[in-house]
Amino acid sequence: MMIKYIILLMSSVLCGSLAYAQMLSQEQFIDEMVIRHDFDRNSLIKLLAKAKVRPNILKAIARPGEAKPWYQYRPLFVNEKRIHQGVEFWKNHAETLARVQSTYGVPAEIIVAIIGIETIYGKEVGNFRVIDALTTLSFHYPPRAHFFRDELENFFLLCREEKLNPLNPKGSYAGAMGIGQFMPSSFRQYAIDFDKDGQRNIWSNAQDVIGSIANYLNSYGWEVSQPVITATQVRPEAVNKLLALEFKPYPLEQLEQQGLLFHGDKPKNSKGMLVDLETEQGTAFWIGFQNFYVITRYNRSKHYAMAVYQLAQEIAKNYVKTI
């Protein structure tokens, strides 16, 4: 009987201290914003009091990734509807896309494809208030608290820089914002005011979105007029070892020594990464070059990057028929 009471007492003390620890962390956050960035303490306290904890965000982030095989993932993004809408988007923003192509060397169809996959060309940009998403994940999700806390800091800074009310911007359940789904840290580093109207607006200004995505890819090392990815063969006994390498490009000579059988034209000193995709015929291989790797910097998924590339090819093919 006594033991039950002791356990009850100890667990309530524990809960209380955990809650205290969480509150302390929000207090710490406010402290840091005040000291580092000269924010007004009372304003921040009032603002954070208005932020709401969203249980469905916690559910979404804890859900294990569905990990569809490639041949089921592909038709979700590389389909007639998205191709057709991509062509329309290109036609509506042809001038900006051409300007961005000459400024940054990133092909128009790659930018269009990214926008198509991220938000269906701006149709689905997320319905959560960014402040809710980031406070929920910073202070109520320990596994990634550090990452989201940094994003929250960047979010307040960008709102101040762009003169936005922090309660207004909307985004995904993880705080990805606007037509290109930029995280606040990426916004602050790579978003640009491409039409020079005095504001970096990635929520409703297509020119800024297009320019920002191009700037992002360029900054991550997009190589002008270089291939993205090419089909390849691999020695069967070398597959596992090559796939165990880090998810980044290696010198092709090194990969060939390890069993890559690439029959395509190789630019000198080129680097690549082995990409395996499950097709309806079985596992097929590609060699992703630097530009493929750059697309994965937008979203660290080989499925995502391949879908961007293939959607881009289809959009480009269909776009030329219309001009």
Partner 1 sequence: MPWRFTNLLKKLLKIMSRLFNVLCSFLLMSLTACTASNPKPYIPATSSVEQAPSPNHNKISKTTHISHHEIQGQASWYALTAHGMRTESGEIYDLYGLTAAHASLPFSTPISVTHLQTGEQVIVTVNDRLSEQSEQNVLVKLSYQAAHQIGLLKYPSAQVKIQSLPRNHLFPSRLEKRE
The rounded Cα 24 to chain-centroid distance in angstroms is 30
Minimum CB separation of residue 309 from partner 1 in Å reads 10
Q: Which two tokens stand for residue 93?
A: 């923003």
DSSP H helical ranges for the chain: 2-37, 41-50, 55-62, 70-77, 80-92, 94-104, 108-119, 130-139, 145-162, 184-190, 206-219, 239-243, 252-257, 290-298, 302-322
Is 230 near partner 1 (CB under 8 A)? yes
Please state, in angstroms and rounded to a whole number, the distance separating the CA atoms of residues 253 and 287: 13
Site string for partner 1, 104-123 (x = CB under 8 A): ---x----------------
Q: Which two tokens stand for residue 319?
A: 């776009």
Is 285 near partner 1 (CB under 8 A)? yes
Is 86 near partner 1 (CB under 8 A)? no
The nearer residue to partner 1, 38 or 265, going by C-beta atoms, is 265
Binding residues for partner 1, total number by CB under 8 A: 25
Please state, in angstroms and rounded to a whole number, the distance separating the CA atoms of residues 320 and 323: 5
Please state, in angstroms and rounded to a whole number, the distance separating the CA atoms of residues 312 and 238: 31
Q: Which two tokens stand for residue 60?
A: 């979404």
Minimum CB separation of residue 316 from partner 1 in Å reads 7
E strand residue ranges, 221-270: 229-234, 250-251, 260-261
Calculated CA dihedral for residues 115, 153, 302, 207, nearest 10 degrees = 20
Minimum CB separation of residue 248 from partner 1 in Å reads 20
- Characterise 221 by phi-psi region: left (phi > 0), alpha (psi -120 to 50), beta (else): left
The nearer residue to partner 1, 148 or 304, going by C-beta atoms, is 304
The single residue among 231, 253, 254, 267 that binds partner 1, judged by CB under 8 A, is 231
Burial class (CB in 10 A: 0-12, 13-18, 19+), 252: buried
Is 272 near partner 1 (CB under 8 A)? no
Is 25 near partner 1 (CB under 8 A)? no
The single residue among 102, 127, 165, 225 that binds partner 1, judged by CB under 8 A, is 225
Is 310 near partner 1 (CB under 8 A)? yes
**241-270: which residues touch partner 1 (CB under 8 A)?**
261-264
Minimum CB separation of residue 306 from partner 1 in Å reads 9
The nearer residue to partner 1, 136 or 290, going by C-beta atoms, is 290
Minimum CB separation of residue 233 from partner 1 in Å reads 4
Is 118 among the residues known to form the active site? yes
Q: Which two tokens stand for residue 29?
A: 């956050």
Stretch that binds partner 1, among 25-33, 160-168, 202-210, 279-287 (CB under 8 A): 279-287
Q: Which residues bind partner 1 (CB under 8 A)?
A: 107, 225-228, 230-234, 261-264, 279-282, 284-286, 310, 316-317, 320
Active site members: 118
